[in-house]
Copies of this chain bind each other. A is one copy, B any other.
Amino acid sequence: MADDISRFGAVSLDELPDDLRERIGAIAEKSGFVPNVFLALGHRPDELRAFCDYHDAVMEREVGLSKAERELIVVATSGANHCTYCVVAHGAILRIRAKDPFLADRVATNPWSVELTERQRAIVDLALALAVEPGAFSADDIEVARAAGLTDEEIWDVGSVTALFALSNRMAHLMALRPNDEFYLMGRVKKLG
């Protein structure tokens, strides 16, 4: 079963060091299941711990971009990178955060032309520029983002999220990481008022 999760196998929750078992356990409790990425990265606790810390520093930041906007970046750049784990897992989170059952599939399938608000479009364009062809990134990309009203702190947020998932997408591709079945259905049905 662990082989299904990753090309390099996976650990179980209780094989993790105490701090990580507690930390991932809390996530599992909230979600109802342990997202596979944690069990697959668990082979290397130091890398997993740094990954979690980086994730929290970037994705749980209280100021700047909204949480839905951060997930929008993750889904857009993971779509452009064809990363199945991140598209499926964060697609679920985006559906929930944005309270929209359709947005994630649209963004993941075509982040370049999906209809978005002007602010969302500026965020996604900046993220895609950095994610896909970083060598061509230039002062022009920054100027366009500023002209669309993004502050420098928000621009940094876009950059940090994009950079972290450039890492994360590549680890998932390396491992052929499989999304948990639970993610596929999450947030697909609009809650009644």
Contacts and interface: CB of A to CB of B under 8 A. Distances in A.
A130 interface: yes
B156 A174 contact: yes
A83 B134 contact: yes
Given A57-B50, A185-B188, A156 B84 contact: no
A89 B103 CA distance: 15
Nearest to A9: B152
B176 A170 contact: no
Interface in A11-49: 43-44, 46-47, 49
A159 B47 CA distance: 12
Interface in A38-73: 43-44, 46-47, 49-51, 53-54, 56-58
A142 B112 CA distance: 15
A98 interface: no
**Residue of A57, A81, A137, A168 contacting most chain B CB atoms (<10 Å):** A137
Q: Find the residue from A82, A162, A175, A176 having the highest chain B CB count within 10 A.
A: A82
B101 A82 contact: no
Contacts of A147: none
Interface of A: 7-8, 43-44, 46-47, 49-51, 53-54, 56-58, 79, 81-84, 87-88, 101-102, 105-106, 108-110, 112-115, 130-131, 134-139, 142, 152, 155-156, 159-160, 162-164, 166-171, 173-176, 181, 184-185, 188-189
